[in-house]
Amino acid sequence: MAQKKSTTEQIKNARRWQRHLQMWRESGQTQVEYCRLNNLGVKAFGYWLRKDRKINNPAPLQLIPVTFNRQPEVNPVEKSSTGLYFNFSDRARIEISRDFDRETFSQIISVLSSI
């Protein structure tokens, strides 16, 4: 039964395959030709090539467009003894108390104006 390779041996093996992959890329040879000339297994070569591509070429991130079908309906501002309320249909409600923090409110307005 085969024994597990030590971490040091695994690292050496990975580096060896990285060198082979780099030399193959520079050689202009097919995978089969390179493996035959360097006494390497084609299946093992394919394994390390897939592993290398997965590490070095992760799936690219994609932007997903977001569209809004309509503007939200804004109900009139309601005043109360505790402050102001802004109702946006059933989707959102902004409440501003009488003793609100001006800096936080300024940041909220800035964010909302950028939408």
Mean pLDDT of 41-61: 86
* pLDDT, tens digit, 9 for 90 and up, residues 88-113: 767 777 777 777 778 887 887 777 77
Determine phi and psi for 86, rounding to 5 degrees. -115, 120
Instruction: Look at residue 53 in the predicted model and tell me its pLDDT.
Output: 87
Contact 30, 38 (CB under 8 A): no
Instruction: Look at residue 76 in the predicted model and tell me its pLDDT.
Output: 56
Q: Which of 103, 68, 105 is nearest to 88 (CA)?
A: 68
* pLDDT, tens digit, 9 for 90 and up, residues 50-59: 998 888 876 6
Contact 74, 86 (CB under 8 A): yes
When pLDDT is cut at 50, 70 and 90, the band that residue 27 belongs to is very high
Instruction: Look at residue 87 in the predicted model and tell me its pLDDT.
Output: 73
* Domain ranges across the chain: 7-56, 78-113
Q: Which amino acid is at 104?
A: T
Return mean pLDDT, the chain.
81
When pLDDT is cut at 50, 70 and 90, the band that residue 23 belongs to is very high
Which residues fall within 8 angstroms of residue 24, CB to CB, at 6 or more apart?
A: 31, 34, 45
| DSSP notation for 47-109 | HHHHHHHHHHSPPPP-------SSPPPBPPPEEETTEEEEEETTTEEEEEETT--HHHHHHHH
Cα separations (Å) of 73 from 44, 66, 109?
A: 62, 19, 18
Instruction: Look at residue 37 in the predicted model and tell me its pLDDT.
Output: 95
Query: Would you say residue 78 has pLDDT above 60?
Result: no
